[in-house]
Structure 1
């Protein structure tokens, strides 16, 4: 009995120490970009963003989404694509440490492009540990965090490019670096 209690206490202490060493999984996408940064990149006013988290998933990752409206007071245009709605969306996932799940997540995009499920677009500039343009935005991996970033500003007959996402990604990465340094 004493031995069982000693083993249980040792396991509890080791688990507590491990939990203290690992960062919390929760991530807040709205803290990774500011309205001012988005406004500077797109050249238009942007609201403060709305957070909508999926929270913890069965595979152990925490998912957070932030949605910023570009020109929030602008009335819808019935003749424009998507009724003229313009927005930025950032979805960030923090994965359990050391399990390469963020890498596997981006690998799924590569596999989908190889199978023709998503458009195979040119690779963007180097961001984080890995990044790829996946048709509707930029997917980036940095350590145990992955994020998808899309800027939606519809224009008639305009080709979709990742220029705005590539302007915003460095801001997200700097904040992730600061969070990991804490």
Structure 2
């Protein structure tokens, strides 16, 4: 997921930029817990900051059941989390749309296993098998709930419960 959402995660302490976005401000632990039915921590911000193509990338990771001990017999040692990657693109360059198009291109090239399927969120959205990718204006975001299942079947249900909260906050920020 990190590759498609902007590369490896690293902490960035960038100067305040008009493009800066904070993924941790787009969802609350209470909203996440209500959507997934389990407690989460307060989230940890991990930004890449400004990229060469002019977008600001911010990520937030919320650990699910943060006090639970790892389970060596479970997939991914039982680690479960919610990750939100938000990208603010320069205005008017259509880069958020190109970001979502990259999922279709990656599926055609076999880089991701599943064909993206459209969803009705924001200006455009798609489920690509591991997460929900959405765009609204010059912002795009990827949202994934990582809860390994024994049968390996993934659905978009939890991400689709969380996406409206993110979109509402984006709309509130753009109205200011």
TM-score by length of 1: 0.85
| Within-5 A mapping of 1:8-87 | 24-87=18-81
- Is 1:92–2:82 an aligned residue pair? no
1:29-80, Cα deviation, whole Å (9 max, x unpaired): 0000000000001101110000011100110000000000000000000000
Partner Cα distance (2:59, 2:119) in 1: 24
Largest Rg, 1 or 2: 1
Structure 2 stretches of 5 or more lacking a match? 1-16
Instruction: Tell me by how many angstroms 1:165 deviates.
Output: 0.5
2:104, 2:115 within 8 Å by CA — same for their partners in 1? no
Query: Of the candidates 130, 137, 146, which is equivalent to residue 140 of structure 2?
Result: 146
Structure 1 stretches of 5 or more lacking a match? 1-22
What root-mean-square deviation, in Å, do the aligned CA atoms of Structure 1 and Structure 2 show?
A: 1.2
Q: 1:179 to 1:89 in 2, by over 3 A?
A: same
The answer for the alignment partner of 2:14 in structure 1 is: none
More helix by share: 1
1:71-103, Cα deviation, whole Å (9 max, x unpaired): 000000000000001100000000000110111
* Greater CA drift, 116-125 or 143-152: 116-125
Partner Cα distance (1:132, 1:122) in 2: 6
The answer for the alignment partner of 1:105 in structure 2 is: 99
Instruction: Tell me by how many angstroms 1:122 deviates.
Output: 5.5
Instruction: Tell me by how many angstroms 1:121 deviates.
Output: 3.8
Partner Cα distance (1:161, 1:71) in 2: 20
Partner Cα distance (2:133, 2:103) in 1: 9
SS in 1 for 2:158: helix
TM-score by length of 2: 0.88
Aligned length: 160
